[in-house]
Amino acid sequence: MPFMKLLTIHNKGTEQVVMVDKKKRKGGSVPVSSLGHVAIAVPDLDIAMNFYKEHFGCEVSEPVVVDTQLIRMAYVHLGDTNLELMEPIGEESPISKFIERNPNGGIHHICLRVPEVSKAADGARRAGLRILSGEELAKGYEGQDLFFLHPKDTFGTLIEIE
């Protein structure tokens, strides 16, 4: 049988059995160490940077262009973690569609740090979690490996692993 019983949920006298596809579940996992950043897509990076400086007194990094993702972005430093503010560059940018749907901007993804990205990718594959870039890992603005998990596999939240 390709499916196995994962757990049984008892709710108000009804019983629901949750099954999982055995092929998709081979004990993989993605142990994370901390929250890397929360990324917020914004229509105008400079206005958003000033907002965090003026209203919250935050330290904000110099903006950088990330060619590989067609965005301009800056980090808002918050102790051990960051907010990543990102503005799309041109209509081809993957963030453009998000801004079309959310003209004021909004939370786009969260980033979880792992000790080793390639190991985490293997773990994700074994756990049956889809990696958006497929077999390849993506590259961050400093050339570091990273990947995104399919939001349909992660309760609707786009998760970056770095």
Residue 160 as a binder of Co ion (CB under 5 A): the answer is yes
Which one of 41, 111, 114, 121 is in contact with Co ion (CB under 5 A)? 111
CB nearer to Co ion: give 95 or 111. 111
| 116-155 binders of Co ion (CB under 5 A) | none
**Dist. CA 37–CA 14, nearest whole Å:** 40
Residue 8 CB, nearest approach to Co ion (Å): 37
Residue 87 as a binder of Co ion (CB under 5 A): the answer is no
| 13-52 binders of Co ion (CB under 5 A) | 39
Residue 48 CB, nearest approach to Co ion (Å): 15
CB nearer to Co ion: give 84 or 87. 84
Residue 95 as a binder of Co ion (CB under 5 A): the answer is no
Number of residues that bind Co ion (CB under 5 A): 4
